[in-house]
Amino acid sequence: MDYQKLFSLEGKTALITGGARGLGKAMAEALAQAGANIVIVDMEAASAEKAAKELASFGTKTLGLEVDVTNELQVHKAIDRVVSDFNELNIVINNAGICQKISIEDQSLEDWKKTMDVNVNGVFLISKYAGKQMKVQGGGSIINIASMSSFIANTEAQCAYNASKAAVAMMTKCMASEWVNDNIRVNAIAPGYMKTDMTKPIFAPGGELAHVLDMVPMKRLGEPHELGGLAIYLASEASSFVTGSSFVVDGGYTIW
């Protein structure tokens, strides 16, 4: 068995939502280094195009697209554009998401719906149209970004986020079940507390969530690149017998 070939993504095309920064960009970089063409989807055109240009340095073809994942027409057009430019869509990472730390009694219905719209409906819409394309072409891999919060209730108030990510974990199983005979594998990565430009100040000494690190057995935040290897595995033929699974990457937080 040639294991390097098994993990290779040469000739594949991957679409990453929310891929212009943070965890999404880190996973996009990992797939690019494994040989995949990369499509960055983001709410901001300039950010998507900038990230795509940077990733082109790995020698693969890239594209940046401005897409609101909650807008069905935009999603449909984006998938059509990818197929037009790259002929196929082999890999999707549903990474776009938001988290509002608001107590239940203080959260407006509008804010609740916003979280569900991005975190749940966005995953549904991208997966729906990607799945249709993958079915036509004979298969593919969809990777949903769930959360350790899909399975536990965090100490801070974020009910809407937790509920939305629990939905993503269940959607992963449902999609995997529906598409198993179409050679479309659907899995999820469930990160714990990760270090990004947005979260670093919150977890720094004296920050709002600095105390949370005491509950992480490894006593640190995860680094964005620590999701990259798993993303390559799930995107590649190395995980050909894996579908409907959620992989928790949390430094041991959910051990207890």
What pLDDT is stored for residue 256 in this prediction?
84
What pLDDT is stored for residue 90 in this prediction?
98
Residue 256 lies in a domain: no
In the set 129, 161, 193, 253, the catalytic residue is 161
Residue 189 lies in a domain: yes
Strand partners, 15: 39, 92
C-alpha dihedral over 57, 14, 46, 78, to 10 degrees? Answer: 150
What pLDDT is stored for residue 198 in this prediction?
72
Structure tokens at 173: 């199983």
Beta-carbon contacts of 113 under 8 Å, excluding residues fewer than 6 positions away, are none
pLDDT (tens, 9 = 90+) of the chain, 256 residues, equals: 899 999 999 999 999 999 999 999 999 999 999 999 999 999 999 999 999 999 999 999 999 999 999 999 999 999 999 999 999 999 999 999 999 888 999 999 999 999 999 999 999 999 999 999 999 999 999 999 999 999 999 888 889 999 999 999 999 999 999 999 999 999 999 999 999 877 778 888 878 888 888 999 999 999 999 999 999 999 999 999 999 999 999 999 999 8
Q: How many CA atoms lie within 13 A of 215 on its CB side?
A: 14
244: domain CATH number is 3.40.50.720
Global confidence as pTM: 0.96
For tokens 């999404």, the residue is: 24
Contact status, residue 135 vs residue 182, Cβ threshold 8 Å: yes
- Is 233 among the residues known to form the active site? no
Q: Structurally, how many domains does the chain consist of? A: 1
Contact status, residue 23 vs residue 194, Cβ threshold 8 Å: yes
Residue 63 lies in a domain: yes
What pLDDT is stored for residue 183 in this prediction?
98
Q: Which domain holds residue 142?
A: 3-250
Residue 135 lies in a domain: yes
* Per-residue three-class SS string for 88-140: CCCEEEECCCCCCCCCHHHCCHHHHHHHHHHHHHHHHHHHHHHHHHHHHHCCE
Residue 125 lies in a domain: yes
